[in-house]
Structure 1
């Protein structure tokens, strides 16, 4: 079987990735920071910033494939110093992967790298990363791309747009709206005029599995190709809870681009992925899951 290491496998996207990888014939080794009991794949508890520990893991497994999802996305991560630690760790991981005969790697980028002068944003459009997070990601892309080219490793930079799914951090938009409304408290959406590209985390996992199993390399947008205004998203959720009256939809001025929508042509044309999950279906599942947690 084809051995693959997936870092951050207990995270928002990683939680969905073992099944599509196994269906494609991969033997999955997942690395995460927390205790996690599973028989679905080989789980290893480890800290990405512990270089000695991570190097030993790569030396032992000798995987030919790697999907590096791990990143510190704690509250305030857009401007956190933790981004510099993750940048250094991510570069070191490439070295360990290469030293053990690695063949293909997917590293994760962000839509926040783009300037969004054009909509939808295409892979080689102008970039304008402004946050510490986006700048570190963009620098990682440049260095990783060069390193892989210099060491004959197939490299893919998956530029992921806004995601949503079950078990999201409570500070993220979907659970924030749902939890607040269920507590009969007002939900304030400060920038309700913004239009964003949302994609289900489970779909992201399927797409990444298809990429690692294909000849696709280079930068690729991981997005739905469609935009939804935050105003409309909030109303959609509130209607399902019968609490539209609790919404405060503001249009505060912001330097953020009015529309952050990606071009998904490579996903469709190269990977043949069309079957996006319906956003309303997942919203209903998230609402049900949160209700069950509280009961």
Structure 2
């Protein structure tokens, strides 16, 4: 078993990676903010505490990475409604590079970064890891820049590099204003759900499964870009109708009452390339 450090361990994705790794018997150190507690049901073996992990320099990280076999860098600035074009993304890049350099210096054998499907040129209904890359926001550009920098830096070291590109995730711990929790909240209250036409194609994956897929990368050591996705195309309308059917309330769905945002791509669907253990 390995000793793994996870940044963003209490976050939407990080907590699921933590859970999957603990289920496999790994020792996990969580990076947390002062006073932050992991959600109930999630436990780490140890914690590293910092008010702002992106402000810590290489020397600070090097002191805390002794004995770590793998770093999973799940943290990023993702404040809802603000993160896509926020300059804070630049700080995340700089802080992530300091962490990666420290991982190399400390002898960590594997560095796993978390990217986004928004690094690709969109729309796209068959996005493979070799599809054209063309980010449309500062957030996606910053992620892609980090991928390129680490992709050139880490292969020249003893630390292998993996980059997990997340597609559309839903599930436990999701921000309440996002599509799935919004739909469920409205249906549970018996209130109308106002939606766009719902024609956009998406690749949806439960965040718990995404956590398991990322944990699998620790096990296999797969390097390079990896699409963390289902590979299945579904319209937003079909997804919402399937949720409404759980409540028997399709009558509460109002499609076409909200406009599709001009920047919302018509299709974002991935082609999985995750290597499974023994595969």
- Fold match (TM-score > 0.5): yes
The answer to whether the aligner puts 1:35 opposite 2:36 as a matched pair is yes
Mapped contact 1:3–1:28 kept (Cα < 8 A) = yes
Partner residue of 1:100? 106
Q: 1:55 to 1:241 in 2, by over 3 A?
A: farther
- 3-state SS, counterpart of residue 232 of structure 2: coil
**C-alpha displacement of 1:254:** 3.3
The answer to whether the aligner puts 1:66 opposite 2:71 as a matched pair is yes
Q: Which has the higher helix share?
A: 1
Mapped contact 1:108–1:158 kept (Cα < 8 A) = yes
Match of 2:136 among 130, 155, 158: 130
**C-alpha displacement of 1:91:** 1.2
Partner residue of 1:182? 188
Match of 1:49 among 48, 51, 54: 54
Mapped contact 1:191–1:253 kept (Cα < 8 A) = no
Q: 1:227 to 1:273 in 2, by over 3 A?
A: farther
Specify every segment of 5 or more residues in structure 2 that has no aligned partner in the other structure, as ranges.
Answer: none
Spell out the pairing of 1:1-295 with structure 2 (5 A cutoff). Answer: 1-33=1-33, 35-36=36-37, 39-46=43-50, 47-51=52-56, 55-56=59-60, 58-62=62-66, 63-76=68-81, 77-116=83-122, 119-190=125-196, 192-250=198-256, 252=260, 254-264=262-272, 266-267=273-274, 270-271=275-276
- 3-state SS, counterpart of residue 31 of structure 2: strand
Mapped contact 1:14–1:69 kept (Cα < 8 A) = yes
Q: Deviations over 1:168-187 (max 9, x none)?
A: 11122111111133333332
Mapped contact 1:159–1:222 kept (Cα < 8 A) = yes
Mapped contact 2:123–2:267 kept (Cα < 8 A) = no
**C-alpha displacement of 1:82:** 2.1
Q: Deviations over 1:52-106 (max 9, x none)?
A: 5x85354134112110000121112222222122122111111121121121111
- 3-state SS, counterpart of residue 10 of structure 1: coil
Runs of 4 or more consecutive aligned structure 1 residues displaced over 4 Å after TM superposition: 37-40
Q: Residues of 1 paired with 2:176 and 2:127: CA distance?
A: 29
Q: 1:235 to 1:149 in 2, by over 3 A?
A: same
Mapped contact 1:36–1:43 kept (Cα < 8 A) = no
- 3-state SS, counterpart of residue 127 of structure 2: coil
CA-based RMSD of the aligned residues comes to 2.3
Q: 1:45 to 1:219 in 2, by over 3 A?
A: same
Mapped contact 1:159–1:221 kept (Cα < 8 A) = yes
Mapped contact 1:113–1:134 kept (Cα < 8 A) = yes
Q: Deviations over 1:196-225 (max 9, x none)?
A: 001111111111111112231001111000
Q: 1:119 to 1:9 in 2, by over 3 A?
A: same
**C-alpha displacement of 1:232:** 1.2
Q: Residues of 2 paired with 1:239 and 1:27: CA distance?
A: 41
Partner residue of 1:279? none
